[in-house]
A and B are shown apart, each in its own frame.
Chain A
């Protein structure tokens, strides 16, 4: 699996959009970008995934650059409950299923 690089921490004001970047410059053609988040003492929660097109669901939007070397997770209206560690993972191909977690970004949503 390709490695990912994320900023270690970010702050966001409650109600504002949170934009979390991720670099995955070594991503291969058959790998998807996945985002998970982990709230303290819980297992990772799936947020969204994409291959090359931008994606949106009820939780977030995912913007993937045209060269697929980076992506941004957007939480449109962050709430205090969105405070968590966010992990960007690339996965697919013959190792599909095996997830290599980087250090993630600790997002703190402040009132």
Chain B
């Protein structure tokens, strides 16, 4: 089946630094990818929609200058958390949409990436 891979699985960074998380669709091309954030014991919250070759669309309340999204190819989207602070520590999950119609299971989730800012 379709696979979406995230890297790194977990990362620890110092406060004030930037960290990049990659999301790759391994066996299909994804024109659209989605980034979610999940705090402990909470549900997934959509942060932004990543569109190949164009700017990402951010959900209300998500700072686009802090969470930089680049979707440079049909198989790779990156999320960069800039000037990270401890409150950015979270589980970040991406999903990728396999091309096709709007219906059917065309959405595949990555394994998630744990970010800890110290």
> In the complex, what distance in Å separates the CA atom of A101 from the CA atom of B78?
22
Tell whether, in the assembled complex, residue A97 and residue B107 are in contact, meaning their CB atoms are under 8 Å apart.
yes
Q: How far is the CB of B1 from chain A (nearest CB, A)?
A: 9
Contacts between the two chains (Cβ within 8 Å), count: 67
- B106 within 8 A of partner (CB): yes
Q: Would you give the shortest CB distance from A105 to chain B, in whole angstroms?
A: 11
Q: Beyond A42-B112, A98-B46, A103-B43, is A49–B93 a contact (Cβ under 8 Å)?
A: no
- Indicate if A74 sits at the interface (CB-CB under 8 A): no
* A71–chain B nearest beta-carbon distance, Å: 15
Q: Is the CB of A99 within 8 A of B102?
A: no
Closest to A97 in B: B97
Please, how many angstroms separate the alpha-carbon atoms of A15 and B109 in the complex?
A: 28
Given the interface pairs A44-B44, A45-B109, A103-B43, the reply to whether A32 lies near B34 with Cβ below 8 Å is no
Q: Does residue B67 face the partner (Cβ distance < 8 Å to A)?
A: no
Q: Is there a chain A Cβ closer than 8 Å to B32's Cβ?
A: yes
Interface 1/0 per residue, B58-102 and A, CB below 8 Å: 000000000000000000000000000000000101010100011
Binding site for B on A (CB under 8 A): 30, 32, 34, 36, 41-46, 49, 51, 87, 91-94, 96-104
A–B pairs, 21, beta carbons within 8 Å: A30-B103, A41-B112, A42-B111, A43-B4, A43-B93, A43-B109, A44-B44, A45-B109, A46-B107, A46-B109, A49-B104, A92-B103, A93-B102, A96-B101, A96-B102, A97-B34, A97-B106, A98-B34, A99-B107, A101-B45, A102-B43
